Structure 1
Amino acid sequence: MTTAFYWFRNDLRLEDNPSFLQACKSVDHLLPVYVHQPSLEQDTLWGFPRIGEHRKVFLEQSIHELRSQLRDFGSGLYEVTGDVLHVFEKLKAQTQADLIYCEQIQAPEELEQVAQLSSSGFKMNSGWQSSMLDAQSLPFRLQEMPDIFTQFRQQVEKKGLRFSCPVDAPKSIPPLPAIEMPPMNVLDANTLSSGNKFQGGEHSAHRHIQQYFERRLPDTYKQTRNQLIGIDYSSKFSPWLAQGCCSSGSIAKQLSDYEIFHGANDGTYWLWFELLWRDYFRFLHFKYGNELYRSKGLSKTPGNQFDSEKFFKWSSGNTGESLIDAGMRELKKTGYLSNRLRQIVASYWIYDMKGDWQAGSAWFESQLIDYDVYSNQGNWLYIAGKGTDPRGGRPFNVAKQTQEHDPDGIYRQIWLA
């Protein structure tokens, strides 16, 4: 009788979760596990919490729904707080199991966790599953992928790659091993129905994606995606993608079906194009790894020095530059910011305030409900000129951006009131 653990990481879903499906098909007893890591509760080097309240609430909602789904299959979720290695060593002592299935996350801290488990005698079965495209299908080895996104995209399109076909949710889940489950983390009504416009969980992800396609919003995506106010100007898939409540492959499959039924257009292409950017930042981690996390990134010069006084003005929305302040206040209040404003406020911090890009990146990690290690790192490197962009940085003219994206001042009025 084989017993194994399934370690849920950034893949809080049952549908299109190949590693979980493989575990369900391969073992006799399976213990699904989620580990809350104390290291993520600590403050950053810059003195603020690593994970802010907005993301915590969304994560708790997502885990709550995952547990409910697992229980519907007669399974459950072993949710515990602790160091990952210590948690699994304790579980191994209780079950005599040493096989762990999980998704592969190609970022330094996450790779280190798997390496520690492996060196401590655990058999690790980790599968790459967070990209829209199958890494094996690419027309180049990841270590030799084009540095420039346009070249990456052109080679992908030349080969006719669109997405890897999603897999179904398991039809059954192996029973739990004989083990005492920890007390359930009971969420209060406020957490379960938070005032945030995004509700965590796989069912919530499906509802949002379904209504987005039913209302034919992909058709206008390219025209509206740089707007600043409201829900419908962009897809808002990112919070659920970030926690793995849905997969980019399943979204791309729905997008393809939509194009077959309604016809392709600039909007549908641009939606796929943005999902491809997401893949690009993921695949870059296979090529450059830890280099992407240095102050100088892939460049020859380190980032700016950190100035706590300037940082407080920027992060609290008190710079005196109205569009920047409005954006930073929206971020702090809601845990969300439009893609356009993310670029503008990042540029302002780096180029106008001469700020440390890594501190800015860490602030986004703390605040964003849709924080994703690959996209966050990739976008900050891109703006700071520390990544693969041949232009060496993307400074934005704030006055020009204000005139283009908030000419009547309505956005600023909302957040500076």
Structure 2
Amino acid sequence: MHDDSAATSAPTRIYWFRNDLRLEDNPALRAACAHAGHLLFVYCHGSADVTRWNVPRTSRHRQHFVRASLADLARQLGAQGSQLLEVEGDPAQILPALAQAIGATTIHCEKIAAPQETDELAALRAAGLTVQAVWQSSLLDPATLPFSPDALPDVFTNFRTLVERGQVVPPAPLARPGTIPPLPPAFATLAARWALAPGVCADIQPAAAASSFPYAQAAFDGGATAAAAHLRQYFDRALAHTYKRTRNGLTGVDYSTKFSPWLACGALSARAVYAALRTFEASHGANDSTYWIWFELLWRDYFRFLHLQHGVALYRAGGLSSLGPPGHVPRQFEAWCQARTGEALVDAGMAELNATGYLSNRLRQIVASYLVHDLGCDWRAGAAWFEAQLIDYDVYSNQGNWLYIAGRGTDPRNGRRFNLEKQVREHDPDGVYRRLWAR
């Protein structure tokens, strides 16, 4: 609902949705609603550029899921009397033009501590705009940690121990804003000039039927509505009590939580997951599996705090290590991307990734290890391919996990080289997964 009484005295502002496609538990959004007289909601679709590895920035799978999430967000804003303006192009160029058109000088958004996303904010400020960016994607509030961000422990286990010993508790999820400021009077003119047609891309084909995250099905649709329903059914079915036992599965919808696609685009917050987990434990009891969900949420936070500490250094060839530049064999990388390495388990995993935009955590580690340690390719190329393909691509976790595998992060061991024969024996002894995705 609108609050027109404040519109005459408070300024017009822009809320720029990034990886926070939700109304609930969104501190940056609440701040914008509290201080704006008129508020323009904007989402910028990046242009379809190609990385240095000749890899596109995104795939049809992630495009479909994000657009579905935006369609859900637009419906929720519409129910509160507002609208979402979807535009295409560089935020550093589009947002200043929109701000000028409506007389806004302030942009609200979430803070993302990765190089490209940080550069976007710097460009907006250089254009003369005030940017109020709020850190809000982590489970834990960095201000409550028992150490400063620049003193983050080098090893995850030490980080976890300090957090648990200090009994650091995440903030409770916030409700959605009670009122939404009205749109700027010029919205219709802006929309006629700038808006993309909202909704799911019609030319994107749904994922394969065998997908472990079948986003073509309503239960796995993008957006906060489907995310909330999935969160409820996961705990209602008591799957949390078996998570640790099943989490290394290779295929199926129930072996892992499947929260990650919604977490990645921000349709679901980590604090909402944590609150649901604690409610479940209070009613049904805690065990090692429910603890392991907390454990994985802490890993997600660790990679975020690592970015606050090291920033662009995490994107250099050597990462945080003293190792020399990694080698690279383009034809080997191409064979890996296209599931043509000749190693059946690796090729099956890459075939699933390309066909569905999803891959189990176990297989992500296996195929990443094979690219880096067996094929001798640059870990950054693998990270770029995952960025393009994964529905649940998260800049922090993707970079952190590839550094971990390559031995160029904070872990004291020199990377993680997986024994392929051992992985086959332990996780696909009967060849069921390999036959499912054989080409």
Do the structures match in fold with TM over 0.5? yes
Change (3 A) 1:193 1:357: closer
RMSD between aligned alpha carbons?
Answer: 1.4
CA-CA distance at 1:116 after TM superposition: 1.1
Q: Which residue of 2 aligns with 1:61?
A: 68
Q: 2:373 aligned with 1:351, yes or no?
A: yes
Listed as ranges, the matches of 1:64-75 within 5 Å are: 64-75=71-82
CA-CA distance at 1:186 after TM superposition: 4.2
Listed as ranges, the matches of 1:246-285 within 5 Å are: 246-285=268-307
Q: Which residue of 1 aligns with 2:43?
A: 34
CA-CA distance at 1:188 after TM superposition: 5.9
Change (3 A) 1:250 1:193: farther
CA-CA distance at 1:191 after TM superposition: 7.2
Q: Could you tell me whether the CA contact under 8 Å between 1:30 and 1:175 is conserved in 2?
A: yes
Q: Could you tell me whether the CA contact under 8 Å between 2:110 and 2:136 is conserved in 1?
A: yes
Q: Which residue of 2 aligns with 1:121?
A: 128
> What are the ranges of 5 or more consecutive residues in structure 1 without an aligned counterpart?
none
Change (3 A) 1:188 1:260: closer
Distance 1:215 1:64 in 2: 28
Listed as ranges, the matches of 1:2-401 within 5 Å are: 2-38=11-47, 41-179=48-186, 180-182=189-191, 183=195, 185-187=197-199, 194-195=206-207, 196-197=214-215, 198-401=220-423
Distance 2:408 2:333 in 1: 20
Amino acid at match of 2:393: Y
Distance 1:140 1:218 in 2: 31
Distance 1:178 1:193 in 2: 38
Change (3 A) 1:199 1:192: farther
Give CA deviations for 1:184-236 in whole Å, capped at 9, x if unaligned.
51446857994533321110111111110110000000000001010100001
Amino acid at match of 2:368: A
SS of 1:124's equivalent? strand
> What are the ranges of 5 or more consecutive residues in structure 2 without an aligned counterpart?
1-8, 208-213
Q: Could you tell me whether the CA contact under 8 Å between 2:64 and 2:201 is conserved in 1?
A: no
CA-CA distance at 1:171 after TM superposition: 1.6
Q: Could you tell me whether the CA contact under 8 Å between 1:57 and 1:191 is conserved in 2?
A: no
> Under a length normalisation based on structure 1, what TM-score does the superposition of the two structures give?
0.97
Give CA deviations for 1:102-136 in whole Å, capped at 9, x if unaligned.
00000011111101111221111110000011111
Once the two structures are overlaid, the 10-residue window that deviates more, 75-84 or 343-352, is: 75-84
SS of 1:416's equivalent? coil
Q: Which residue of 2 aligns with 1:410?
A: 432
> Under a length normalisation based on structure 2, what TM-score does the superposition of the two structures give?
0.92
CA-CA distance at 1:37 after TM superposition: 2.2
Distance 1:348 1:29 in 2: 52
Q: Which residue of 1 aligns with 2:211?
A: none
Q: Could you tell me whether the CA contact under 8 Å between 2:16 and 2:42 is conserved in 1?
A: yes
Once the two structures are overlaid, the 10-residue window that deviates more, 147-156 or 304-313, is: 304-313
Q: Which residue of 1 aligns with 2:5?
A: none
